[in-house]
Amino acid sequence: MSLPAAILAGGLGTRIGAITQHKIPKALIEVAGEPFIVHQLRLFHRQGIRRVVLCVGHLGEQIQEVIGDGQALGMDVAYSFDGAVLRGTGGAIQQAIPLLGDKFYVFYGDSYLDCDYNAPQQAFESSNKLALMTVFRNHNQWDSSNVIFRDGQIIRYDKRNRTPEMEYLDYGLGLFQASAFDPYSQETAFDLADVYMDLLAQGQLAGFEVKERFYEVGSPNGLAETQQYLRSKIE
């Protein structure tokens, strides 16, 4: 049975501002005739995920108006709003934990990850670790690589200090136990990348390689590629 999923959908869309004009969230950008979030939720449904918590902030009410409770898509959708003080991607997940439960997926709201979700979930549950990061051998092709991954293990992960040895990328599909977020203050903003790095240092981060490339709508080039990919699946 699939775990629930959190979607980080609170970004301002600064890289794609000409399209959003900061008047709609990235999740509502039209892709292949529908809001991007609709494509994401349909993909989750096909993967067996039925319960989703949308972590929203700026203009999040617009997403709620479009998706509602998710029943029209066969989903159970809840919302966790940032509030007056931004808490970062890690803080947004921490705030949503009461809606998510003990174990859950984490996805980014601008990524379309058309791969098998069951395999990393099984790897996570058998690892007995607090989290699992999926990785993709990117060779800096679609984004800057930030992971050293060898023999099924994440050796190094760092989004800020990249090195030539980093051939892999954080794919954007994570699995967590809720207790991974216990050490962090609820009063201070923190990034999900910091959680991953801390867990790796503690030996509590499993790794799983995904072979399928990712698609994203956070940049103009990414949006064009995602449009083409999703249209090809409809035709």
pLDDT tens column, 84-143: 778 899 999 999 999 999 999 999 999 999 999 999 999 999 999 999 999 999 877 777
Question: 53 or 58, which is more confident?
Answer: 53
How far is Cα 158 from Cα 75, in angstroms, rounded to an integer? 34
Q: Which candidate, 117, 100, 127, 227, places its Cα nearest to that of 172? A: 117
How far is Cα 170 from Cα 39, in angstroms, rounded to an integer? 21
User: What does DSSP say about strands 147-150 and 153-157: parallel, antiparallel, or unpaired?
Assistant: antiparallel
Give the domain ranges of the chain.
5-234
Rg (CA), the chain: 17
5-234, which class in CATH? Answer: alpha beta
Q: Identify the DSSP state of 159.
A: S
Give residue 83's region: left, alpha or beta (phi > 0; psi -120 to 50). left
Note the pLDDT of residue 12.
Answer: 58
How far is Cα 26 from Cα 12, in angstroms, rounded to an integer? 7
Model pTM score? 0.93
